């Protein structure tokens, strides 16, 4: 089994992740076949199996809870893949409309992922409080005076018309 640099292994893992995103139940043999056919990349089954273990370990340790948080990890991988595809679309088109739609969707991906991470408690929402030195009683008195003046004005306007 050949020895690859850490950077090269990461690139190969990214290719395998991409395949697993599209076909989640792919076996080592299926991944090997897809890599050979689509990427002209010939890797040993044992090496691909080793990368499979690394990917699964990475996903499992990404978040503590292996159930819902593993689904979040899978969703995060999918969003990363979609983001990369949208960037390719944006870079390979002359249409401003297509570029705008791609950028809007990339932005939406980040928003959706962040909201899910907030919902899962990975990040914490810290909502600020509004502090204002406002005289509420004075404002309410002004509103009440305005109402009284409006009533008085409408009575005198209605009375003088008769």
Structural domain boundaries, residue 108: 64-124
Q: Are 70 and 45 part of one and the same domain? A: no
Of residues 39 and 132, the one with the higher pLDDT is: 39
pTM here is 0.45
Q: Are 74 and 108 part of one and the same domain? A: yes
Nearest to 116 by CA among 159, 154, 160, 68: 68
If pLDDT is split at 50, 70 and 90, which confidence band does 161 have?
Answer: very low
Q: Are 34 and 11 part of one and the same domain? A: yes
pLDDT digits (tens, 9 = 90+) for 8-56: 999 999 999 999 988 989 999 999 999 999 989 999 999 999 999 999 8
Out of 27, 44, 62, a domain closes at: 62
C-alpha triplet 11, 19, 60: angle, nearest 5°? 75
CA distances from 125 to 116, 119, 128, 136 (A): 12, 9, 9, 29
Task: Specify the number of domains making up the chain.
Answer: 2
Q: Are 74 and 50 part of one and the same domain? A: no
How many Å apart are CA 50 and CA 106, to the nearest integer? 32
Q: Are 115 and 68 part of one and the same domain? A: yes
Among 41-55, 83-97, 105-119, 136-150, the range scoring the smallest mean pLDDT is 136-150
Q: How many residues does the chain have?
A: 162
73 touches 62 (CB < 8 A): yes
Q: Are 3 and 58 part of one and the same domain? A: yes
**What 8-state DSSP symbol labels residue 23?**
S
How many Å apart are CA 112 and CA 78, to the nearest integer? 12
Q: Are 57 and 72 part of one and the same domain? A: no
């Amino acid at each position: 089994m050949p020895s690859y640099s850490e950077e090269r292994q990461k690139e190969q893992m990214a290719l395998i992740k991409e395949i697993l995103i599209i076909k989640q139940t792919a076996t080592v043999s299926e991944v090997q076949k897809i890599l050979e056919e689509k990427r002209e990349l010939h890797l040993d089954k044992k090496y691909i199996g080793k990368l499979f273990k690394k990917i699964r370990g990475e996903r499992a340790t990404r978040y503590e809870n292996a159930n819902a948080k593993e689904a979040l990890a899978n969703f995060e991988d999918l969003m990363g893949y979609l983001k990369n595809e949208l960037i390719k679309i944006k870079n390979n088109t002359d249409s401003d409309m297509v570029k705008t739609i791609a950028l809007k969707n990339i932005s939406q991906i980040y928003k959706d992922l962040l909201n899910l991470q907030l919902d899962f408690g990975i990040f914490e929402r810290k909502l600020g409080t509004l502090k204002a030195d406002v005289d509420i009683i004075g404002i309410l008195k002004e509103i009440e005076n305005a109402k009284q003046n409006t009533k008085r004005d409408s009575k005198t306007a209605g009375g003088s018309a008769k």
